[in-house]
A and B are shown apart, each in its own frame.
Chain A
Amino acid sequence: MNGIDFSVAGAGLTALGSGALWWAEQRLLVVSDLHLGKTERILRRGGPSLPPYETRDTLIRLENDLNATNAATVICLGDSFDDAEAARTLPEADRLWINRLQAGRRWVWIEGNHDPGPIDLAGTHLVELPLSPLTFRHIAESGKSGEISGHYHPKVRVQTRLRSITRPAFLIDSDRVIMPAYGTYTGGLRSSEDVLNTLMRPEATAILTGQTPRMMPMPR
């Protein structure tokens, strides 16, 4: 598979180029910050009507990853929906599509700050999920070990000899992984921001998403 292997707290993980995280031993796929229904929320709040294709695009990519991994468990690591109303008003076709993806596998919705509280979709709804030796939660907590989180969805800028390239990225150290956003319209926070600097150990690395994922020292 198109990914980079590493381990956190003894668990062998693979960062995929798509921005998903694969735990082979558990056949478990993690995606974070899908922000489905973002265009609907912006519109509802009096903003412009952005091209309403982000849910479709995100689900196509998720479907590809599920086909490639044949995951037994899927964890959506919070902010799966841009808000509760966006989840409620998800078009019927997208709802059925998610049902189809869920068939035959365990599906866990972790709560995020955008989508606290249960949503009206099949699957387990949890604040966080401990699965030894790892814990899955939306927002990283300092001092924890074996933690997989999203929320900040980091991006990394690399100055190559011809131009600078910015990509969503995983941040990884021996205690934790902070995942990039999986949602099509979800941006990112520069890895050099203070909050990420404080959370990550000095020797942290970054894995850039893209056609072929690439590992590098985390740019500070």
Chain B
Amino acid sequence: MTPPSLPTEIEGWFSTRGWDIHPHQRDMLARSTDPCTLLIAPTGGGKTMAGFLPTLAELSDGTHDGLHTLYVSPLKALAADIKRNLRTPVDEMGLPIRIEDRTGDTSQTVKKRQRADPPHILLTTPESLALLTSYEDAPRIFRGLKRVIVDEIHALADSKRGDQLFLALARLQTLCPDLRRVGLSATVDRPADVASLLARHPDPCAIVTADPGPAPDIAMLQTDETPPWSGGGAAYAIPAVLEHVKQHKTTLIFHNTRAQAEIFFHNLWLANDESLPIGIHHGSLDRQQRERVEAAMVRGDLRAIVCTGSLDLGIDWGDVDLVIQVGAPKNVKRLVQRIGRANHRYNAPSKALLVPANRWEVVECVNALQAVREGDLDGDPRPRGPQDVLCQHILLAAAAAPFSADDLFAEMTSAGAYADLTRAEFDACLEFCATGGYAFRTYDRWQRLQKRGDLWHLRDPRAAARIRMNAGTIQDSDKLKVRLKRNRGGKPLGEVEESFAATLSQGDTFLIGGQIVRYEGLREMTVEVSRNAAKKPRVAVFSGTKFATSTQLSQRTLRFLQHPSWPELPDHTADWLRLQRDVSRLPEPNRLLVETFPRDGRENMVVYGFAGRNAQQTLGLLLTKRMEDRDLAPMGFVATDYATLIWGLDEIANPEALFDLNALRDGLDGWLAGNALMKRTFRGAATIAGLIERNTPGQRKSGRQATFSSDILYDTLLKYDPEHLLMQVTRTEALSGLVDFARIEDMLARIEGRIDHVRAPHVTPLAAPLFLEVGKVPVQSGSAEERLLAEETDALMRDSGLQNVKG
């Protein structure tokens, strides 16, 4: 395999700079005619150039007409960034290449022009690409397309955005049969899986691996203060973190949630005596604010940025020489990808520090560090491509042109994620798109898709616009904009979740974008606030995603607990574990430790399941339900990544009896069906599948209305049509997602009934921090809501004096 010789302009550009073309860049050139190639390279390894070099070579003679290469990235910002970074070398090489981006931020005029006259290289996102394929003129837009480059494919591979993208690629392949695919990825646990998603099934896909560079220099932050027993703020570490910021040029300080980032940023500023320029960046901030921080960072004006996953991906933010991860990383793969954000010079090690937020996280951080050193990345096998995305894709296909079911089925099963889709599953989705797929058939004359001859058509061609308006798989949980209150619309600050806004009353203070603001009121679905000089805000609880600790990391930690001693741990943490071993026992792999003990007049039970936060939460719901059925009077529970604490009135003498898998599963089917988590999962699936429209011609539905109607739809289906396609999708998804019952099943299968019950005279060392956890869930018997309402409305009638006025 000899690489095709590069055009002289390109070779010349490299040599005048004294740069060598990296071996993996040569490799990608050599494979440029392959149908599919996946490149795995660290950040800063010239990954993007490796992806684009064949394109530049093919376009250098200026003869290509129309679109040649489509570049898809998970972030709008990344598409814009690549446009800048590609434009410069292309201009310097003097190549006649038009490069444009197309995202949600692109103006309608430009979008229209791009459809009529596409550039040579179009940089876009999965959502914009899906829309492009849905236009009647898609065959003309994509005529001549030769290559598609999927950047940061690891970030897409695990999500519905990826499923949508891979279906769109299948579509493109039908339009352009000799399309070649290239994926660019950071280090992943299963490269072959990513490759099979990228390739047209069953095409092979070669994997090119770049030199990973030197191993990262990664350690746990040493502090004089000991970490607290619980909580996620890591305020104790602020002085030590500031010290490191001073010693480095630019530091990224990652947090697991937005709320934690806000609080940490606030505390950092209070301690920032030298007024070091420090910024904050997360997905809930207003776009302008984020852009300002990004620009300041590129200029090198900032010494540190407190951020969340919004800075995870490979945008070139300048010279970062230290990454700090606050809070246990939960997931080793993500940690490695974050560490890769430091140091874009290819041959220097990235430097990173872990900051455990509490005592338990010290244990987890030590284990995560070992996993990183051993290259032991975690990842769960990918679930099958979900049917809600399939439904949306069928509707988008119908918007583009009438289609034959056989052809569309063949096309979809050529997408790796859907390779094992059965015809019956496909037909169920098609039926859903056409008629709604209800057990009770009605209104067939109005069905959305109609079959005429061999082809399926949209009944009403105007529906195409509606379908496009509602395309996409990203679920913004209902967010409200936050603005400063002014006469004529004050400055936008960002967004908070509607559920958070609903808890605010006038005068409450909270943190957003690092400043404390006072809630003034809600106007036209906008939260109005004023600046406030209060020292201590009410906590900003807008959530961001709470990740559960991965199975691999949990298991590693369990094995670690079996060591006779723990020289890797600071004394304060090792002593804690030793004390637990003396007083009770330590949790073991393949066994389940259950402790019971009295405290404060209540009986407590702690279940050390190590199944991750979501599963431990579900376990709490299911166990308290089982206890209620047995009159064991549970009163509430709280869950962490490793344990669930349940309290109630009665001692649990025989916990083994509670852990019957079949009984737990029954609880899941019956009682959990009415749970809010199921409704939330349903809302996502129903929105993606096109049952709930976020946008209707004319006006944007407010989040509130959408919330209301999706719950009613869920209740109605549960009552009259529980086996409906979307109910099946909801159950499947909830079991591995928010409800995560799959990990409870795994855990029970692992322990095979080996339950160690310790009856302790008082709270045990390992259980103690659980009492300090926030997020306690009171157990609600069926009448709880009625009782709460009675209590509150009676008080209101009495206090207002209206009791005596009525009638």
Contacts and interface: CB of A to CB of B under 8 A. Distances in A.
Contacts of A52: 436, 438, 440, 442-443
A166 B785 CA distance: 11
A125 interface: no
Given A161-B788, A210-B786, A215 B438 contact: no
Nearest to B799: A217
Interface in B672-731: 690-693, 696, 705, 708-709, 712-713, 716-717, 719-721, 724
A187 B463 CA distance: 24
Interface string B446-470: 1110000000000110110010000
B653 interface: no
Contact of B786 (A43, A44, A50, A211): A211
Interface in A195-220: 203, 205, 208, 210-212, 214-217
A187 B797 contact: no
B436 A217 contact: no
A146 to B, nearest CB: 15
Contacts of B502: 164
Given A5-B807, A47-B693, A211-B786, A40 B443 contact: yes
A187 B713 CA distance: 12
A135 B242 CA distance: 72
Nearest to B434: A49
Contact of A46 (B460, B721, B778, B792): B460
Contacts of A160: 788-789, 791-792
B692 to A, nearest CB: 7
Interface in A156-190: 158-166, 184-185, 187
Given A5-B807, A187-B708, A40 B446 contact: yes
Contact of A43 (B440, B446, B717, B802): B446
Interface centre among B440, B443, B693 (most CB of A within 10 A): B443
A217 B463 contact: no
Nearest to B726: A51
Interface centre among B502, B778, B796 (most CB of A within 10 A): B796
Nearest to B441: A52
A73 to B, nearest CB: 23
Interface stretch (A23-31, A53-61, A95-103): A53-61
Contacts of B717: 51, 53
A56 B708 contact: no
Given A51-B721, A53-B721, A39 B793 contact: no
A212 B788 CA distance: 12
A175 to B, nearest CB: 14
Chain B, interface residues (CB within 8 Å), range: 35 or more
B802 A205 contact: yes
Contacts, number: 123
A50 B713 contact: yes
Interface in A1-48: 5-7, 39-40, 43-44, 46-48
A118 interface: no
Interface string A96-132: 0000000000000000000000000000000000000
A48 to B, nearest CB: 5
B657 interface: no
Given A165-B788, A212-B786, A50 B691 contact: yes
A203 B436 contact: no
A122 to B, nearest CB: 22
B716 A51 contact: yes
A53 B460 contact: no
Nearest to B499: A164
Contact of B720 (A53, A166, A208): A53
A187 B789 contact: no
A53 B716 contact: yes
A172 to B, nearest CB: 8
B805 interface: yes
Contact of B792 (A39, A50, A158): A158
B267 interface: no
Chain A, interface residues (CB within 8 Å), range: 35 or more
Contacts of B443: 39-40, 43-44, 49, 52, 89
Contacts of A184: 712, 716
B806 interface: yes
Interface centre among A53, A54, A164, A187 (most CB of B within 10 A): A53
A91 interface: yes
A158 B792 CA distance: 8
Contact of A185 (B459, B712, B786, B802): B712
Contacts of B275: none
B497 to A, nearest CB: 14
Contacts of B785: 165
A48 B797 contact: no
Contacts of A91: 442
A216 B796 contact: yes
Contacts of A46: 448, 459-460, 462-463, 466
B435 interface: yes
B545 interface: no
A5 B806 CA distance: 9
Given A43-B446, A52-B438, A164-B503, 19 more contacts: A39-B443, A44-B443, A46-B462, A46-B463, A48-B448, A49-B448, A50-B713, A53-B438, A53-B720, A54-B716, A56-B720, A158-B793, A159-B505, A165-B788, A184-B716, A187-B708, A210-B786, A216-B796, A217-B797
Interface of B: 435-436, 438, 440, 442-443, 446-448, 459-460, 462-463, 466, 502-503, 505, 690-693, 696, 705, 708-709, 712-713, 716-717, 719-721, 724, 778, 785-786, 788-793, 796-797, 800, 802, 805-807
Interface of A: 5-7, 39-40, 43-44, 46-54, 56-57, 89, 91, 158-166, 184-185, 187, 203, 205, 208, 210-212, 214-217
18 contacts: A39-B443, A40-B443, A43-B448, A46-B460, A49-B435, A49-B448, A51-B436, A51-B713, A51-B724, A57-B716, A158-B793, A160-B791, A161-B792, A162-B778, A203-B802, A208-B789, A215-B806, A216-B797
